[in-house]
Structure 1
Amino acid sequence: MPLYQQLKQQFNAGFPSNPKTNPETKVSAEQDTLRIVVGILGVLLPIVLWISLAIVSCYTKPLESISHYFYTRVSSVFVITMSLLAVFLIIYKGKRRRDFLLSLIAGIAALLVVFFPTTNLAPRCCHPDYLYSITYIDPEKIWETFHFASAGVFLGCLAIMSIWRFPAKDSSDEHPIKRDRVLYVVCGIIMLVAMLIIFLGSNGIIFDKRDFEYPNAGTFWLESVAVWAFGYSWLLKAGFFSKLKKTFF
């Protein structure tokens, strides 16, 4: 079935307006498809950005943060990936209304991350030390604040889903086993801890503030850990690894 037909069918399937009167509504196979797509996009995002910039601009070091790739020649990769994540999260419904609301908020926040870019890579346009940076936007403090807030809401909602919803017995037709429930919680905690360290470190409360600023990539690696944890939890929820094992073994 073509992807657009799957998405249309998933959107039209909806979710129960009153879960109490229809608690046994099945989550369709398209839900797992969405989870797998979202999980793969999350896992690949920092890797693809890093490799793409190395190929296109011969700059092999990771940037200060994932969001700073917006200002490079691979900005389209960042924008398209984040936009796809946002769309899939917005149309994802889960089995309960609360799943839909959390993913909807996360999807909208992902779009805002793109609409309101982070701070510039270079201190000024065409700076000779930042030749891999091709875009410069007049600094607006409110943009930076709104960007960080949106990123926090995006990852925060996904962390809540991983900790609260994925381990729940009513989150899917198949009850998660104890090991998977533990892994969901661990992934969510990793995301929250990574975000907390970024916030405290970038403000110099813990660690050295310079570790989170150019040319260091403390923020990039912690963001990568957070999105890898988020991607893994979504792939696990979709049964991706068990399906992969059955396919090849």
Structure 2
Amino acid sequence: MPSRHHPDLATMIRLRRAIGSIGLGLPVALLIGTMLVDMPMENSISEFFFSPLRDVFIAAAAGVGLFLLAYEGYPARDREWLTDRRVSGIAGASVLVMAAIPAHCTRDTCYQPLAMFDQLITSAVLQSALHMGAAGIFLISLGVMSQNLFTRCTMPQKTRHKQRRNTCYRMFGWMIYAMVALIGVMKLGFSEIGREWDNAWHFTFWAESLALWAFGLSWLMKGEVLHDTLPYFYEAETE
């Protein structure tokens, strides 16, 4: 069935693919950017805010945030709280907060001009807590989507195709949870070791990248990126 007969469905497909592509491409774009502008590698994705690649980081975060805020998903069932709309809204709002309130800059000279909230928030502890808290909520929300929402089925019995997709969704969700837990443990419980790992091989950047790649692949699979026809997508969505 031609896509022009399903404008809303076609828009939802493109939206899912766009979200997934940004998540998958951001770490790669930052890595390529460090080579193009001949700058040192940052220890985390958030620290690229204080680099010449600030625009790349902000554009990706804003794009994902706005897409997630606009994402409708499936209507809520009776007395259902954990819905596509609510979880995607939380994820979208949190990533926008994360982008607006940067991680506290510990360098002698930070990339100018400083962000508004970087100047308004005078407490380094509060700024770091707000940024890290928003980042954590964002990633955990992505894990919930992959684990609990993308695996739902409207058919009485799951097909083999749906079962395989659900296995992948759960793997992506567990990857996101594992990276969030690992970053949290190293930042809060073993901060000295965490700093050593960051200085040695940019541990936080790679852990965040793994979480973003799992997020991106999950949304690309949800957008049926390997299948171009809407009839196939429609059938897959009703599973």
Tell me the TM-score normalised to structure 2 length: 0.79
Q: Could you tell me which of 55, 73, 87 is aligned with 1:102?
A: 87
For residues 121 and 242 of structure 1, do their structure 2 counterparts lie closer, same or farther at Cα, with a shift above 3 Å needed? farther
Q: 2:39 aligns to what? A: 59
Superposition deviation, residue 115 in structure 1: 1.0
- Shift in alpha-carbon separation, 1:200–1:191, aligned structure 2, 3 A: same
Higher relative contact order structure (alpha carbons within 8 Å, sequence separation ≥ 6): 2
Equivalent residues, number: 209
Supply the distance in 1 between the matched residues of 2:192 and 2:127 (Cα, whole angstroms). Answer: 26
Alignment of 1:117-196 (within 5 A): 117-120=102-105, 122=107, 124-125=108-109, 133-134=111-112, 137=118, 140-170=124-154, 177-196=162-181
Q: Secondary structure in 2 aligned to 1:214?
A: helix
Encode CA deviations 1:190-225: one digit per residue, 9 max, x unaligned: 000001000101234499223443354100000000
The answer to whether the 8 A contact 2:44-2:204 is kept is yes
Q: Does the 8 A contact of 2:44 with 2:208 survive in 1?
A: yes
From 165, 190, 193, the counterpart of 1:208: 193
State yes or no: 1:91 paired with 2:91. no
Moved over 3 A (4+): 133-139, 204-207, 211-216
What CA RMSD, in Å, does the superposition of the two structures yield over aligned residues? Answer: 2.6
User: What CA distance in whole angstroms lies between the structure 2 residues aligned with 1:203 and 1:65?
Assistant: 16
CA 1:29–1:194 in 2, change beyond 3 Å: closer, same or farther? same
SS at match of 1:65: coil
TM-score for both structures, normalised by structure 1: 0.76
| Amino acid of the structure 1 residue aligned with 2:125 | K
Aligned equivalent of 1:217, options 202, 208, 213? 202
**Quick check: 67-76 or 197-206, which moved more?**
197-206
Q: Which residue of 1 is the match for residue 52 of structure 2?
A: 73
* One-letter identity of the residue aligned with 1:162: S
**Partner of 1:32 in structure 2?**
13
Residue 46 of structure 1 corresponds to 27
How much does 1:134 deviate?
4.9
* Residue identity opposite 1:218 in structure 2: F
- C-alpha distance in 2 between matches for 1:188 and 1:159: 4
CA apart distance, 1:49: 1.4
Q: Which amino acid aligns with 1:103?
A: S
User: 2:194·2:203 contact (CA, 8 Å) conserved in 1?
Assistant: no
| 1:111-143 CA-partner distances (Å, limit 9, x unpaired) | 001111012151x227xxxxxx55665662211
In structure 1, the residue matched to 2:3 is none
SS of 2:226's partner is: helix
Deviations 1:204-248 (A, max 9, x none): 44992234433541000000000000000000011002339x9xx
Q: In structure 1, what is the Cα distance between the partners aligned to 2:71 and 2:65? A: 10
Q: 1:121 to 1:51 in 2, by over 3 A?
A: farther
The aligned counterpart of 1:243 is 228
Counterpart amino acid of residue 54 in structure 1: M
What SS class does the counterpart of residue 177 from structure 1 fall into? Answer: helix
Q: Give the letter for the 2:209 counterpart.
A: S
